[in-house]
Amino acid sequence: MKLTRKQWMMLAVLVFGAFVTVLNQTLVTPALPSIMEEMSVDQSTAQWLTTGFTLVNAIMIPITAFLQDRFSTRKLFVSSMLLFAAGTLLAALGPNFPVLLAGRLVQASGAGILMPVTMTVLMLVFPVDRRGSAMGIFGLVIAFAPAIGPTVAGFVIDQADWHILFYLIFGLALAITAASLFLVDNKAPANKGDSVLDPLSLALSTLGFGLMLYGFSALGSAGLTLVPVATTVLGIVGVVWFFIRQTHLPHPMLRVDVLKNRRFLIGTIIGMLVQGALLAAGILMPIYVQSLHGLSATVSGLVLMPGAILMGVMNPIAGKWFDRHGPRKMAIVGMSLLTLTTFAFAILNLTSSIIYITIVYTVRMFSMSLVNMPITTWGMNALDNKVMNHGTSVNNTLRQVAGSLGTAIIIAVSTQVQSFATPEFGSAQGTMFGINAAFLVCTLLCLVGLVMTIALVKDKPGEEAAVDEGGARKSLLTAIMKTDVYSLTQEATVEEGEAIRAEFGLDKPLIVQYFNYMKDLFRGDMGRSLKSNIPVSELIWSRFQFTIQLVCAGLVWAPFAGIFIGVICAIKRGTFVDLIGMLLAICGLSAPGFWLGLMGIQYFSVHLGWFPVSGLDSWRSFILPSLVMGTGIMATLARYSRSSMLETLREDYVRTARAKGQREAIVMFRHAFKNSLIQVVTILGLQIGGLLSGSVITETIFSIPGMGRLLVDSIAFRDYPAIQGLLMIFAMQYVLINLVVDMLYGVINPKIRYD
| pLDDT score recorded for residue 353 | 85
Supply the mean pLDDT for the chain.
Answer: 76
Report helix angle 623-649 to 673-693, nearest 10.
Answer: 150
Q: Say which residue, 55 or 151, is predicted with more confidence.
A: 55
| pLDDT score recorded for residue 221 | 58
| pLDDT score recorded for residue 479 | 41
Whether residue 51 is predicted with pLDDT greater than 60 in this model: the reply is: yes
Of 123, 376, 379, the C-alpha closest to 263 is 379
| 602-648 pLDDT per residue, tens | 777 777 778 777 766 777 777 788 787 778 778 888 877 888 888 77
Quote the CA–CA distance of 91 and 48 in Å, as a whole number. Answer: 14
| pLDDT score recorded for residue 490 | 55
Can you tell me the mean pLDDT for 253-280?
Answer: 82
Q: Say which residue, 708 or 234, is predicted with more confidence.
A: 234
| pLDDT score recorded for residue 336 | 92
With a CB cutoff of 8 Å and minimum separation 6, the contacts of 357 are: 285, 288, 289, 303, 348
| pLDDT score recorded for residue 541 | 79
- Pair 526, 728: CB distance under 8 Å: yes
Cα 380 to Cα 46, 216, 271, 309, 509: the distances in Å are 35, 29, 12, 26, 43
- Pair 275, 388: CB distance under 8 Å: no
| 469-523 pLDDT per residue, tens | 344 333 344 444 444 445 555 566 666 666 766 766 766 777 777 777 777 777 7
Count of residues in the chain: 755
Quote the CA–CA distance of 243 and 201 in Å, as a whole number. Answer: 9
Please give the distance of CA 286 from its chain centroid, rounded to a whole number: 19
- Pair 596, 603: CB distance under 8 Å: no
Q: Say which residue, 236 or 683, is predicted with more confidence.
A: 236
- Pair 371, 231: CB distance under 8 Å: no
| pLDDT score recorded for residue 706 | 77
Of 462, 470, 449, 484, the C-alpha closest to 372 is 449
Whether residue 467 is predicted with pLDDT greater than 50 in this model: the reply is: no
Quote the CA–CA distance of 404 and 407 in Å, as a whole number. Answer: 5
Whether residue 578 is predicted with pLDDT greater than 50 in this model: the reply is: yes
- Pair 311, 322: CB distance under 8 Å: no
With a CB cutoff of 8 Å and minimum separation 6, the contacts of 624 are: 597, 600, 601, 604, 605, 611, 702
Can you tell me the mean pLDDT for 1-28?
Answer: 75
Please give the distance of CA 435 from its chain centroid, rounded to a whole number: 27
Can you tell me the mean pLDDT for 525-545?
Answer: 77
| pLDDT score recorded for residue 376 | 82
Whether residue 461 is predicted with pLDDT greater than 50 in this model: the reply is: no
| 100-113 pLDDT per residue, tens | 888 888 888 888 88
Of 160, 108, 470, 112, the C-alpha closest to 297 is 160
Reported as a pLDDT band with limits 50, 70 and 90, residue 420 is confident
Whether residue 84 is predicted with pLDDT greater than 60 in this model: the reply is: yes
Helix segments in 381-426, DSSP class H: 388-425
Q: Say which residue, 755 or 140, is predicted with more confidence.
A: 140
Can you tell me the mean pLDDT for 294-301?
Answer: 67
| pLDDT score recorded for residue 468 | 37
| pLDDT score recorded for residue 340 | 92
Residue % of the chain over a pLDDT of 70: 77
| 709-744 pLDDT per residue, tens | 777 777 777 777 787 777 777 777 767 776 776 667
CA 65, 71, 72, 77 torsion-angle sign: negative
Quote the CA–CA distance of 539 and 530 in Å, as a whole number. Answer: 11
Whether residue 684 is predicted with pLDDT greater than 80 in this model: the reply is: no
Report helix, strand or coil for 535.
strand
| pLDDT score recorded for residue 136 | 67
Residue % of the chain over a pLDDT of 90: 1
CA 121, 125, 129, 133 torsion-angle sign: negative
Quote the CA–CA distance of 85 and 105 in Å, as a whole number. Answer: 12
| pLDDT score recorded for residue 644 | 80
| pLDDT score recorded for residue 480 | 40
Q: Say which residue, 672 or 237, is predicted with more confidence.
A: 237
- Other C-beta atoms closer than 10 Å to the C-beta of 224 total 7
| 178-222 pLDDT per residue, tens | 888 887 777 666 555 555 677 888 888 888 877 877 776 666 556
Please list, residue by residue across 469-489, b when 16 or more beta carbons sit within 10 angstroms of its beta carbon and e when fewer do: eeeeeeeebeebbeebebeee
| pLDDT score recorded for residue 512 | 76
Can you tell me the mean pLDDT for 37-51?
Answer: 75
Q: Say which residue, 448 or 685, is predicted with more confidence.
A: 448
| 432-447 pLDDT per residue, tens | 888 888 888 888 888 9
| 126-175 pLDDT per residue, tens | 666 666 666 766 766 666 665 566 667 767 776 667 778 888 888 888 98
